[in-house]
Amino acid sequence: GIQVTKRIDKLGMRSSDTAQIFFEDVRVPSKNLIGEEGRGFTYQMLQFQEERLWGVATVLTPLETIIQETIDYTRQRKVFDKSVLHNQAVHFRLAELATEVELLRSLLYRTIALYVEGNDVTKFASMAKLKAGRLAREVTDSCLQFWGGMGFTSEVLVSRFYRDLRLMSIGGGTDETMLSIICKHMETLPSK
C-alpha cells in the first residue's frame, strides 16, 4: 500500500531526495503507533517553533561565510585597475548585510532565551524565520552580483547558497504564513 514516485528534480538542496509517497490501505500495528491516533498534525504543529528556530540558526553560518568569501573575492578582483571591494557601494553593502546577519542572530538568541524560560515564542520564532528567509535571499543575491560572471557558475559557493537557501522562505512555513502568524499575535489579522 506504499507507493513512491520517481525522484523530483529540485532547484536547490539537491543532496536531499524528494519524492511523493502515497499510502493506501496501510495498516500500522498499534505497538508502532507514536502518540494518539489522529493527532499527527497536532504533533507536527507542536514542533514548528523548534524547527523554525533551528532553521534560523542553520542559516547564520552560511550567510557569514558567503559575505566573507565575497569580501575576499572582491578584494582580489580588479576592474579598471581597482579592487572591486574599493567601490563604496560594494563595501557599504557588505557592511549592511553583515549588520543584518548580526541583528538576526540577536533575535534568535533572545527568542531561544525566552523559549528556554518556558515562554510561548510563536511570534518571535515566526519573525526570526521570516527575516532569515528574506535575508538569505538578500545576502545571496547581493553577493552573487558582486561575483560578476563567476557568480553565475556552479564553480563557486555563492551560486550554491543562492539556490539552496531559497528554501528558507518556504520550508517550515512560507513567508506569508509567518506574516499571518505575526499578524495574529499583533491582533491585526482581519476577523473571519
For the chain, the straight-line distance linking the first and the last C-alpha, in angstroms and rounded, comes to 40
Q: Are 165 and 101 in contact (CB under 8 A)?
A: no
What distance in Å separates the CA atoms of residue 43 and residue 74, rounded to the nearest whole number? 47
With H, G, I as helix, E, B as strand and everything else as coil, classify residue 82: strand
* E strand or H helix at 78: strand 78-79
CB atoms within 10 A of CB 60: 17
Q: Per the structure block, which three cell numbers stand in for 100? A: 543584518
CB atoms within 10 A of CB 183: 14
Point out which residues pair with 23 in neighbouring strands: 2
Q: What angle do CA 70, 76, 96 make, to 5 degrees?
A: 35
| Residue in 51, 64, 69, 138 annotated catalytic | 51
**Is 51 annotated as catalytic?**
yes
Active-site residue set: 51
